Amino acid sequence: MHLRHFRNYDDLTVHFAPGVNVLIGHNAQGKTNMLEAIYALSLTKSHRTNNDRDLINWQHQSAMISGVVEKQTGRVPLELQFTTKGKKAKVNHLEQARLSSYVGQLNAILFAPEDLSLVKGAPALRRHFMDTEFSQMSSKYLYDASQYRTLLRQRNKYLKQLKYGQQHDRVLLSVLSDQLAAYGAEVIVARYHFLHQLEKWAANLHEQISLQAEQLKLKYITQVNVGDDTSVDQVYHQLLKIYQDHQEREVDQGTTSYGPQRDDIHFVVNGKNVQAFGSQGQQRTTALSVKLAEIDLMKEQTGEYPLLLLDDVLSELDTIRQTHLLTAIQDKVQTFLTTTSLSDVARQLIHQPTIFEIKNGNLIKEEA
């Protein structure tokens, strides 16, 4: 990987190892920035800011991240350039007209301490989780979800204009409702199936981590009826009917109250919703199982394991959970783990880690 003028990195080339890469450093040296660079190389955007300008070093006007991904099908050079005017993404040195044709070349799963609140946090967090993860597995999902978001913004704007009498034409509202229902149905059916697949892997991991004491189920919460055999067309008609039945109410409120932007996931352990009734430990085990399950699901869906980015999470987990995490990933997932100091437990658990010391935007590889 090569970074130029990215955050606090000036000009850095680094060769990472295929196994576990440990990035050790004091606070504010560039550990999270490095994970952010890898994440951005995967998804074209940061996990912690929506403003790409934040990624550019304060002394400069542009930044670059490039890297070579070694896939089963061969080596793929990727490059991202950020300027104050926008960004460019290249695959195999060719600029991509759409960012969506770039995403999916390199998949990455990031796990940070705040992800432990996936279970107890707000529903928006769980929707964001579905969107980021499923978009990496399916370019169709990425496209449908982004079309849905654009249409939702347009429809909300139009509903507000109707509410305040700036517009009167209900025909245009019907057109927007129809298009919104079409993309909404794609998103809902895809989420249902992906969550069903994710549950298989997550339940298995949860059972192991809880030493066979707990059974985890994932329940997809959405406003329409959806099951194993429900078609996209059936969901589309349900949504369309909801929009027709509630048109006056939505105009009154000036916003769209129905659709996948209101979805949620319930995590159920031994028959009880963990969000409401689970102990902190159960909530953490659930979050960990779901995150680890994504690794296997991505492999199943794409044929390649994703990269795993662990931002200072070991210190947040007890020994049992650390052991499960580290044994689940070893020898199969290329991992990048940041820490201010590696505990003795972790040192013993990681097979042949490659250790880099991060100091003020520089990486120094420790000799084995």
Ligand X SMILES: Nc1ncnc2c1ncn2[C@@H]1O[C@H](COP(=O)(O)OP(=O)(O)OP(=O)(O)O)[C@@H](O)[C@H]1O
Task: Determine the interface stretch with ligand X among 11-19, 28-36, 230-238, 276-284 (rule: CB under 6 A).
Answer: 28-36
Residue 140 annotated as binding?
Answer: no
CA pair distance 113, 201, nearest whole angstrom:
22
* 57 is an interface residue for ligand X by CB under 6 A: yes
CA pair distance 158, 176, nearest whole angstrom:
9
Task: Determine the interface stretch with ligand X among 21-29, 155-163, 178-186, 190-198 (rule: CB under 6 A).
Answer: 21-29
Residue 28 annotated as binding?
Answer: yes
* 27 is an interface residue for ligand X by CB under 6 A: yes
| Phi, psi for 218 (deg, rounded to 5) | -110, 125
Task: Determine the interface stretch with ligand X among 31-39, 135-143, 255-263, 291-299 (rule: CB under 6 A).
Answer: 31-39
Q: C-beta of 29: minimal distance to ligand X in Å?
A: 4
Q: How many Cβ atoms sit within 10 Å of the Cβ of residue 90?
A: 15
Of 1, 22, 32, 137, the one binding ligand X (CB under 6 A) is 32
Residues 6+ apart with CB under 8 A from 49: 55
Q: C-beta of 13: minimal distance to ligand X in Å?
A: 18
Would the CA dihedral through 112, 116, 119, 123 be positive or negative?
negative
CA distances 305 to 71, 100, 153, 312, Å, are 10, 20, 35, 21
* 39 is an interface residue for ligand X by CB under 6 A: no
CA pair distance 176, 169, nearest whole angstrom:
12
- Give SS3 for 251: helix
Q: What is the largest CA-CA distance in the chain?
A: 72
Task: Determine the interface stretch with ligand X among 26-34, 73-81, 116-124, 263-271 (rule: CB under 6 A).
Answer: 26-34
Asked if residues 325 and 353 have their Cβ atoms less than 8 Å apart, the reply is no
DSSP 322-347: HHHHHHHHTTTS-EEEEESS--HHHH
* 126 is an interface residue for ligand X by CB under 6 A: no
Contacting ligand X within 292-351 (CB under 6 A)? 340
Residue 182 annotated as binding?
Answer: no
Asked if residues 141 and 133 have their Cβ atoms less than 8 Å apart, the reply is no
Q: C-beta of 87: minimal distance to ligand X in Å?
A: 15
Of 1, 21, 31, 195, the one binding ligand X (CB under 6 A) is 31
Q: Which residues does residue 311 pair with via DSSP β-bridges, in sequence order?
A: 338
Residue 362 annotated as binding?
Answer: no
* 8 is an interface residue for ligand X by CB under 6 A: yes
* 29 is an interface residue for ligand X by CB under 6 A: yes
Task: Determine the interface stretch with ligand X among 25-33, 69-77, 267-275, 348-356 (rule: CB under 6 A).
Answer: 25-33
**Residues forming the site for ligand X (CB under 6 A):** 7-8, 25, 27-33, 54, 56-58, 340
Binding-site residues for ATP sit at 25-32
